[in-house]
Amino acid sequence: MFKNAILRKPAPNFASGLTTVSQGKPDFAKVIKQYQAYCDALERCGVTIKVLEADPGHPDSTFVEDTAVLTKKTAILARPGAESRQGEVRGIRAPLAKFFHYFAEINAPGTVDGGDICEADNHFLIGLSQRTNEEGAKQLAEILDCDGYTSSLVDIRKTTSILHLKSGVAYLGENQLVVIEEMAGWKEFAGYDLLVVGKDESYAANCIRVNDHVLMPAGYPVLQSLLERRGHSVMPLAMSEFQKMDGGLSCLSLRF
């Protein structure tokens, strides 16, 4: 059960951040409206949220998930693969220190984006991507091992349709793993109960289980129906403006 979440407000220059897609410039008024709905949804799920002030010096900083990987006792400070985002990590340590006594960190030349790390109970799937490199993955695996967790690597560097592992994979508990169609046959996911997302709805694979609910992007009826048939209480949320900047539901908060 998640009790808390840390978020960071979108900065007015949010549209100046990094993106690999060509879907137009985000409408900032819509960004704020969609962000507030996300905050409200977390609170409806029973989570106490801490919203940090916007950081215009780092326009991608609202995607706070990339700055840390959290276990039950340790806050692992990440080292984002995009150099322009590495300064975001300094601003997350103090808020996390109010909840975590133990810290670890990824050091150069290692890089890790939190969006590449999928926690599945006591096992962590670590994505190797354009943002998380082999050295960073090695360091993270060693830290997790010291905390009593197992981990395995998932190499998505040749999977051009997603930026981060969690753009295409989501763990919902009870051994259920949402996965995009092109990755469904991968050996790394053998043994999981797969909920496969078709190509037309691949963006919706970035959904999150928050206590008794699953938050997912609005506008993807096939996946929503599948989740509901599996017994999940689904909260669809508009995410169009964040999608324009490679962002998804998981990216907007650190949940613990």
Instruction: Give catalytic residue positions.
Output: 164, 251
Distance CA 97, CA 111 (A): 22
Token pair, residue 255, equals: 């949940």
Distance CA 204, CA 248 (A): 9
Q: Which of 127, 121, 183, 181 is nearest to 152 (CA)?
A: 127
Distance CA 151, CA 125 (A): 6
Distance CA 41, CA 213 (A): 9
CB 215 within 8 A of CB 247: no
Instruction: Go through the chain and tell me how many residues it has.
Output: 256
Task: Name the β-bridge partners of 213.
Answer: 210, 233
